[in-house]
Amino acid sequence: MRQRIAMLDCARGIAILGILLMNITAFGLPKAAYLNPAYAGNITRGEAWTWAVLDMVAQVKFLTLFALLFGGGLVLLLPRGTRWIRARLFWLMGFGLLHAIFFWDGDILLDYGLVGLLCLGLIRRAPSDRNVIATGTVLYLLGVMLLLIFQLLLGSQPPGRFWLPDIANRVYEHYWQTVGGPEAWRERVNLLHGSLLAMASQYGWQLAGAMLICAGLMRNGWLAGRRAPAHYRRMALWLIPTGLIINLPAVVAQWQLGWDYLWCGFLLQMPREISAPFQVLGYVALLYGFWPRLADKTVIRLLSNVGRMALTNYLLQTLLCTLLFNQLGLFMAYDRLQLMMFVPAVWLVNMAVSALWLRHFRQGPMESVWRHLTRLTGGAPQPNTSS
């Protein structure tokens, strides 16, 4: 059991650190840069290659990995009782709401708490693990197909400020990001409204699907590491290349088209979304397949520590990056390639803080607050050693 927890913690730590590879762009550049590297018109070859590599290995992948692990975690929490889990998810939504309005507009906690709450009933009532996986697959594919519908409805429309902002929009975004206060809070509320609409209309279906797929994989033992290492290595050998092969043509096409909104706004986003589950399950399989050789390595222990303090480390990334880019005036000062130099430094802080904290405490600081608040509103959980 302890080995299984370590494997999951390590995978969660990889997800938290991997998310920063994409979030650093959202911290340091206008929102349009997240998907469109040519948001300002001109783009260097270094920026283009950085976008291409990250699109192949990280974009959507680590968010999907975190969603998958979140769904698997819901299964581990089931013995603690529905009331306790609901209270836990409500508090996560509360953290996310505060995070989204007062700190950073790229929050995922509110989305995960809300969708997790909706998935909980399906996970509890599903007659079998196959049923959960099948339902998750259908929901995920539905979310991807909605991109096709948006392409037909909106693809021919002029690109908005979230794809190709004019200079006035970029100047204003720089202003409210760096000045902070009520101006920034008001903008983040508006962005949160749009984000919730996007989740309800498209992204939420994929998020729910990813959670349910891994809930099923947890129930059948795959995510719990109950297969032989050779099985996981074989799975990684075909899952990762499958994801890369699906995504590669779209990456090439977007580059060749100059990230033209007509084709790249929705249609050429679809291969990336389709590839993500294959690739991230391949990442997990690769870790599990070599776990017997990796378990005692220092880097694995450090990654597991990050995973044990996932909520704390996610919020710590926000504090560090908003300090650098918003408070210290580095917002829009670096291009996509140059922003990558900040990533290892933040990773080192995540790993160092986690290692030092867990020498003295069983949980991270935010995890302890989360658990205490959950106990206050959801009662004491039933005994459970799985999480």
- Asked if 107 and 93 touch (Cβ cutoff 8 Å), the reply is no
Q: Which domain holds residue 14?
A: 2-374
* 60 domain-assigned: yes
Neighbours of 142 (CB within 10 A): 14
Evaluate whether residue 114 is within a structural domain. yes
pLDDT value at 230 more than 80: yes
Domain presence at residue 81? yes
Does residue 1 register a pLDDT over 50? Answer: no
pLDDT at 382: 63
From CA 175, how far away is CA 305, in angstroms rounded? 37
Query: Does 385 score more than 60 pLDDT?
Result: no
Each residue's pLDDT tens digit, 195-209? 999 999 999 999 999
CB 148 within 8 A of CB 214: no
pLDDT for the residue numbered 381: 67
Is 385 contained in some domain? no
DSSP string, 235-282: HHHHHHHHHHHHHHHHHHHHHHTTS-HHHHTTGGGHHHHHHHHHHHHH
Asked if 152 and 262 touch (Cβ cutoff 8 Å), the reply is no
pLDDT > 90: what percent of the chain?
Answer: 91
Residue 3 pLDDT grade (very low, low, confident, very high; cuts 50, 70, 90): very low
Q: Is position 382 within any domain?
A: no
- In this prediction, what percent of the chain has a pLDDT beyond 70? 97
386 within domain boundaries: no
Q: Does position 387 have pLDDT exceeding 90, yes or no?
A: no
CB contact at 8 A, 253 and 206: no
Is residue 380 domain-resident?
no
List the structure tokens of 335: 């291009």
Query: Can you list the alpha helix ranges (DSSP code H) found in 323-364?
Result: 336-339, 342-358
Runs of H (alpha helix) within 78-128: 82-102, 109-125
The number of folded domains in the chain is: 1
| pTM > 0.85: yes or no | yes
Residue 202's CB is within 10 A of a number of other CB atoms, namely 20
Q: φ, ψ for residue 276 (rounded to 5)?
A: -55, -50
Span 211-238, average pLDDT: 95
- pLDDT tens digit string along 17-72? 999 999 999 999 999 999 999 999 889 999 999 999 999 999 999 999 999 999 99
Q: How far is CA 371 from the centre of its chain?
A: 22
Residue 384 lies in a domain: no
pLDDT single digits (tens) 257-276 = 999 999 999 999 999 999 99
